[in-house]
Structures are given as C-alpha cells and as structure tokens.
Chain A
Amino acid sequence: MSSDLTFKSIAELAVLLEAKKLSSVELTQATIARTKAVEARVKAFNSFDETDALAQAAASDARRTAGQARGPLEGIPVGLKDVISVAGQPLTASSKMLVNFVSPYDATVTRKLKHAGAVLWGRLNLDEFAMGSSTENSAFHTTRNPWDLTRVPGGSSGGSAAALAAGEASMTLGSDTGGSIRQPAALCGVVGFKPSYGLISRYGLIAFASSLDQIGPFTRTVEDAAITLSVIAGHDPLDSTSFKTELPDYRAELGRRNGPWRLGIPKEYFGEGLDPEVAAAVQAAVEHYKKLGCEIKEVSLPHTKYCLDTYYIIATAEASSNLARYDGIRYGHRSKDAKDAIDIYFKSRAEGFGAEVKRRIILGTYVLSSGYYDAYYLRAQKVRTLIRQDFLNAYKEVDALLTPTTPTPAFKIGEKADPLAMYLCDVYTIGVNLAGLPGLSLPCGFSKSGLPIGLQVIGQPFKEAELLSIARAYEQAHDWHLRHPNLL
C-alpha cells in the first residue's frame, strides 16, 4: 500500500471503503506501515497496539460485508491524545505520575467513535497534563515537526498534529485549553478545530482547567472536521457542563451556506510580535474573502492584552485544584520513600510531576490562597467577563473573526527555555477559550523556509456550521492542505 492512502481525507476514504475498493484492514495496514516507516523520526506516539487495531479493522470489514456499516468513520484509523480514556488501554497524560495507569472505562468521545466504527489507533504524545506549547514538557520524549524535524510540532496536542501531518492516522483527537489544538495544527499544516465549550463531552478526558478544556479533531480538510464533529458532539449526562443544543448535520450544512459573510479583523491580533510572513499569509487570506464578496471590517477587542494573564491565573488555579487528585493514594505514582501517609502526598507528587506541572500547581495554589484570591483569581474572573463581552460586541457587527493562529511558524526545539516566552505562543488562541467560542485553524500558506502557517477563524457560540462553512470557502480555492511533508 502506498503512503498516498494515508494522506487521503476521511471523505475520500469513506467512498473507497463503501465501494469496497478498499478494506479497513488494508487501510489500517497502510497506516501501520507508514507509522513504522516514519515514527522513529516523528515520535508522535506514546504507544500503539497493532494487533488490536487490525482486529478492530477486521470487525469493521465484517460489519460492512453484513450491510451494517455505521457511517463515514467506519473503518477509519484514528489516534487519540493520551489524555482521552480507552477502556483497557494505557492513559499517561505523558506524565511519570500515570506511567502504569490503565483506563477502567471509555471516555464519551471514545464510546462515540467506537459506535461509529472507527479503528482506534494509538495514544499520542503531549506536553505533560496538556501544559505546554511544544511537547517538550512530555515526560517521555519530544515529538518532532514532520516539516522540519529540528522544530517543535506545537502543543500541547503536538503528537495528534504531527501524527496526522505525517500520515500516521487519518484523523486524531486532541484537547484545547488555551490553543492546544489550533496552535499545533497551524505549526503542522493541518486543520485543527476547537468547538464551543460544552459542545463535546469532557467525560473521560483528563482534566487540566475544567472551565476551558474542550476536545476537538485534527483533520486533513474542513469537511472531515464537520464529519467528525457530527460523531462526537452532543449533550452527555456524564458531563454536567455539556450543553443542550440542537445539532445540525454539520457536513450537510457545508453545502447549504455560501455567504457572503461579514468578517471582522481584530486589530489587536496584528500588532507587535507577529512574524511578517505569517501576517502576509493571513492578509492574503483576508483578500480572498474580499474577492468572494465578504464584507471585511476592522474590529477591536480592547481587552486582548489581558487575555494571557487572565488565562494563566484561571488555568493554573483550576489545574492546581484538578491535580490535587494525584496524591499517590488511589491511583498513579506512589513514592517508595514516604515515611508516613502525609509524606506520600509530598513525595509522590514531587517524583511524579515534571517542572512545568509543578510551576503551574505552585502558581495556581498561590492565586487561590487566602489573602490573594480576590486580587488574582476573582479579578481574573471579572476580566474574563470583559474579554467575553469584547467578542460578543464584535459579533453585533460581524459573523466571524479572522486572525493568525500563532505569532510565528514552528520554532526550534529548545528555543523557548523561558516559561513566559513559551506562554506567549498562545497569545492569539487563549481569548477563544476564555470566551468559550469555537475556533478553527486551517493551513493558509508556507514560510520561505517551508514551514506551515495557520489562519484562525473564530465563530459565534454554537454556530459551528457557519464557522466550518467560512473556513471551507477558503480551503476550496487553495491547495495548501494537499501538501505533505517528505519524510521518506
């Protein structure tokens, strides 16, 4: 099987599978072969199980033969970020804390993917507990950018982005707390989609910052993102923050919406620190929308400069609370050197967590501690209200916003040793999480040195169908998404 097969979209593969020109076993074998050929250099996976994947593929082919195929994801190999539970499979969060953990149950998205007939293929690397923007914080290894192996794939869902870009899966899932899907998608040249907060159940997702976390897909095309969303979205009684809303057939909606749209360009996203090549690529995308007849309007999100600080207070506060569960008692790493029960807490956490996780727990504990709560955490929650209001005000005039996804293309491994410099990578993506909006990154060009550049489209709450249609209007007229890294 050629690697061409592993670079096809879900929509294309579904046609071949349906016509019986291709079996899921053949496709899965091609995916395994491609993974074996490139993985030593890309290092996107924490683990995979060939035998299990081939058994799932054979079961999928049997369903199809029996006339019981379950839709467009039937027989498609998909990879999961290693924070999403699959019953009986390892779940590490790329942390020493969970190195031997095995999930006792399926996440809701896992259950839905299984129900849709997808072949679950591998556990993908990330920054430990999804804290980081490069996968360099993984306790196991750093994933490489398939376009330049000396550079990072972005993070925290770097394994999910790199595996898809390198042809090691046909779709992958990640999670996005401050840009952890969109930023690596931009850096690896694929589509990355974070839907509205609450649209996809977080049940079975390892919690980082619960008011910001959202699961979403990495795909080769916007259409594939729509296909995947229809499978994994929906209210779930097991996630009390999951939202009850009407779910359209997102793929069908793509064909029904042609604009023209009113698109806002937030001026605060084009200032200092934006790489000129990224600015030029995004500007060219804006021109394309103008040619399509869209009304382009400059808008202002005046509290943008406070997003980063607000985010690092709220996210670390929630993380310090969520990660209190890793105490060495019920599951996870337990220190062998503890002298008593309380000492188990101190030493297990010291041994199990890496530096960035410890830093964030310290910061989060500090901003929540007595005497500082009002000055930091409560104030950040109030600024969050203002940030959200900025977006809602803009949406009185426009249907969606266009911005760069990241300030620069992929940076070198080891380049950003200072935590604050790393935090600034997320400057264009975190506002979307604070406001709970849907955001999508899609390829919009390459730098002169051959690195992908991402365009971010930010939509209105729960108007995913419109957001996807806007993104697709650009994608249909360009072929950036059809380029693949040459790893062989």
Chain B
Amino acid sequence: MSDLTDLNIDRVANLARLALTPEEKTKFAAQLGDVLLHIEQLGKVDVTGVEPTAHAFPIYNVWADDVAQAGLPVEAALQNAPAQRNHMIAVPKVIE
C-alpha cells in the first residue's frame, strides 16, 4: 500500500474540481489520514490470482435495438438549467 503522506490534498481537490478552504484542507487531510490508516490493513490480504469484482453478479454488455425513441422535450430537458438561451444551456465564454 502507499505511504499515507502521499495524500496531497491540493492535487486531489484539483482533480475533483473542488475548491476547498484552508480550514477544510486541514480538517479533511487529518480525517482522511485516519480513514486511510484504517484502510492500510487491506494490504495484508493475499489477493494473488484473485479476479476483481466490479458487480456482484456477472453483467456483460447490454445491447438495445437501434430504434429511435421519444426523449424529453427540449423545455423539460432544460428546465433545471441554471442559465439558458435559445434552447441551449448558457455558460461563460470558454475560448478567448
């Protein structure tokens, strides 16, 4: 298992696109340090030759027939958008 000191909270918060206050960083780093310390014991399990389980029951690709079906009307699909214009979601300019 990895070294606990590796939890670089700034790096991880950036990956998660989450702005944290300095207080949150200090608090979460300490609390998650405790959790990670607990998790360390998984390193003791012998998993040689064990297949990983993604789902409890074997589920493989599920195919649907390629048939067009009615979806949500535009108004319904956009009703929760924080900002919209001309049947589109409005966001600040991305490219200068």
Contacts and interface: CB of A to CB of B under 8 A. Distances in A.
Interface of A: 100-102, 104-105, 197-198, 211, 237, 240-241, 243, 303, 305-306, 308-310, 312-313, 320, 324, 327-334, 338, 340-342, 344-347, 349-350, 353, 355, 358-359, 361-363, 365-366, 369, 371-372, 375-376, 378-386, 388, 418-420, 423, 434-437, 461
Nearest to A309: B39
A312 B52 contact: no
Nearest to A339: B92
Smallest CB-CB A-B distances: 3 pairs? A436-B56, A381-B52, A334-B82
A385 B50 contact: yes
A384 to B, nearest CB: 4
Nearest to B93: A341
Given A240-B62, A308-B38, A365 B92 contact: no
A333 B21 CA distance: 19
Interface in B37-69: 38-39, 41-43, 45, 47, 50-57, 59, 62, 64
Interface residues of B, number: 53
A197 B47 CA distance: 24
Contact of B45 (A312, A328, A347, A386): A386
B50 A241 contact: no
Given A332-B80, A382-B52, A312 B39 contact: yes
A449 B81 CA distance: 50
B13 A362 contact: yes
A241 B59 contact: yes
Contact of B12 (A362, A380, A382): A362
Contacts of B5: none
Nearest to B82: A334
B54 A211 contact: yes
A379 B50 CA distance: 9
Interface of B: 1-2, 6-7, 9, 11-13, 15-21, 24, 28, 31-32, 34-36, 38-39, 41-43, 45, 47, 50-57, 59, 62, 64, 72, 76-77, 79-83, 89, 91-94
Contacts of A329: 82, 89, 91
Given A104-B79, A419-B31, A420-B34, 4 more contacts: A197-B56, A341-B93, A385-B52, A418-B31
Contacts of A211: 54-56
Contact of B39 (A313, A334, A350, A385): A313
Given A350-B19, A420-B38, A372 B57 contact: no
A375 B2 contact: yes
Contacts of A303: 45
Contact of A361 (B6, B18, B76): B18
